[in-house]
Amino acid sequence: MKTTHNYFIDFLRFFSSLSVVFFHLNLHNSDKNSLYAKIASYGWLGVPSFFVISGYCIMFSAKSSKSWISFIQKRFFRIFPAFWFSLIVVMIAAVFQKIYTGTNSVPIIPESFIAIPATLTLMTWPLTNIKTVNWAYWSLTCEILFYVTISFSLFLNKKNVLIYLIIFSSISLLCPLQISGSFFFLDHWPAFGLGICIYLYQNKNYSKLCFYFLILLNIVGLIDKNIIKNDPEYIAVTLVVASFILLSLKKELHSNLRPFNKLGNYSYSVYLLHVPIGIIFGQFRSNSLQEMPIFLIMYDITTYLVISFISAIVYNYIEQPAIAYGKKLGTIKIGGV
């Protein structure tokens, strides 16, 4: 089934990254009771929004891949080149803060031999006990595990893929809450799973009974996991985002959002870079400024614009070429696979 580009997805990517940026910029706001600070405190909900988007979009990538190797290659070049560049930016931010203040709160520098490859491959917390060098990186580990999970489905025929997804969703539902450790990813699977359900609905190549059962498993799993964590907002946002993506499948509902295409493209780099750049700008974010909401908002918008400008450069000169190379590499037949 041929699908047109969904510009609402671009808008969601933009808005989700924007929300996370403003959340982190105001994480240590001295005035927690201001309306602006309260609104910004919900910005972390951009993360489950990204998970739903990934669940929906990655299925298209998997479907277009010639093999599981092709899929993994494309995902590798989509994630890691920009991620590795962001590590350099983190180090620059650390040096700046050390020179400017005499202290460093930006990264947690890998202190052991095993921590270095773990950091470079995103095998850090919450999957392992090795701390991340950037607050936002934990969700990338979640994304990597999702890609691996979907790559296994490429060994199956179309009829068995849905069964595989049902089994995995059942495991997620039955597995006790895992904030960290080898199975932490299962806590977030329902958000990815609902995105997958939207993809299946759009392509209509499934058993209806199995499809509805898959939806039920993921909704129940979503509610169960997050009621235990006392995160009703996570439940609400995940369901709302999934519903809006479903509604956006009609072209006339998203065609006017085309201007958000590039902003959506920049969202990954924005997500990677906003913490170190935000901390640099945070050095000049005085308490007196934080007590004047209008000026604080203007300052944060300026910070966001700088982050977006740098992210646009990273996208055009690192992300985009790497994505193109990954797609090109994915067309090469390897060992008869």
* Mean pLDDT computed over 7-13: 95
The pLDDT confidence band at residue 252, using thresholds 50, 70 and 90, is: low
Residue 65 is predicted with a pLDDT of 87
Picking from 152, 145, 2, 14, the residue whose alpha carbon sits closest to that of residue 64 is 2
Would you kindly state where each structural domain of the chain is located, as residue ranges?
A: 7-158+179-187+252-330
Q: What 3-state class would DSSP assign to 266?
A: coil
Residue 207: per-residue pLDDT = 83
* pTM of the predicted protein model: 0.92
pLDDT per residue as tens digits for the range 271-296? 999 999 998 888 787 777 777 888 98
3-state secondary structure of 326: helix
Q: 231, 319, 197: which is closest to 267 by C-alpha? A: 319
Give pLDDT tens digits for 90-138: 988 888 877 877 666 655 677 778 989 999 999 999 999 988 888 889 9
pLDDT confidence band for 336 (50 / 70 / 90):
very low
Helix axes 232-247, 7-25, angle to 10 degrees: 160
DSSP character at residue 283: T
Q: Choose between 69 and 4: higher pLDDT.
A: 69
% of the chain beyond a pLDDT of 90: 63
Q: What is the dihedral of CA 145, 142, 240, 74, to 10 degrees?
A: -60
Cα–Cα dist 246/244, whole Å: 5
Beta strand residue intervals within the chain, DSSP E: none
Stretch (H or E) spanning 85 = helix 68-101
More confident residue, 293 or 312: 312
Residue 229 token pair: 């964590």
Residue 337: per-residue pLDDT: 33
User: In whole angstroms, what is the distance from residue 22 CA to residue 285 CA?
Assistant: 14
Residue 155: exposure state from Cβ atoms within 10 A (0-12, 13-18, ≥19): exposed
Alpha-helix residue ranges (DSSP H) falling in 175-207: 189-203
The model's pLDDT over 195-208, given as tens digits with 9 standing for 90+, comes to 999 999 998 777 88
Per DSSP, 133 falls in state S
Taken in order 263, 268, 271, 272, is the CA torsion positive or negative?
A: negative
pLDDT interval class at 334 (50, 70, 90): very low
Task: Please give the biggest Cα pair distance in the chain.
Answer: 65
Contact call for residues 319 and 81 (beta carbons, < 8 A): yes
For residue 53, give the amino acid letter. Answer: I
CB 275 within 8 A of CB 105: no
Is the pLDDT at 253 greater than 80? The verdict is no
Computed over every residue of the chain, the mean pLDDT equals 89
